[in-house]
Amino acid sequence: MIEEHIRFNSDGLNLEGVLSYDENIINPPMVLLCPPHPHLGGDMENNVITALGNVLAENG
């Protein structure tokens, strides 16, 4: 499993994320997971988002 930390700007906002993929799979299914808003205490290390990401990655 490859993980790439990505960052890009959109309308003056800095967005960041982690792109995880298996380089051996052609046209894999994709999912976008978004954590709770930072103003509400959320971040990319949210336990629910992390657990979902791990389960999805393990099951292709």
What residue segments make up the domains of the chain, in order of their start?
2-58
Are 54 and 18 in contact by the 8 Å Cβ rule? The answer is: no
Q: What is the pLDDT of residue 5?
A: 93
Q: What is the pLDDT of residue 48?
A: 92
Residues 26 and 15: their CA atoms lie apart, in Å, by 27
Q: What is the pLDDT of residue 4?
A: 92
Residue 60: pLDDT above 80? no
Per-residue pLDDT tens over the stretch 16-58: 898 888 888 888 888 999 999 989 988 888 999 999 988 988 8
Output the pTM of the full model.
0.70
Residues 6 or more apart from 56 whose CB is under 8 A from it? 31, 33
- Bridge partner list, 5: 18
* HEC-encoded secondary structure of 36-53: CCHHHCCCCCCHHHHHHH
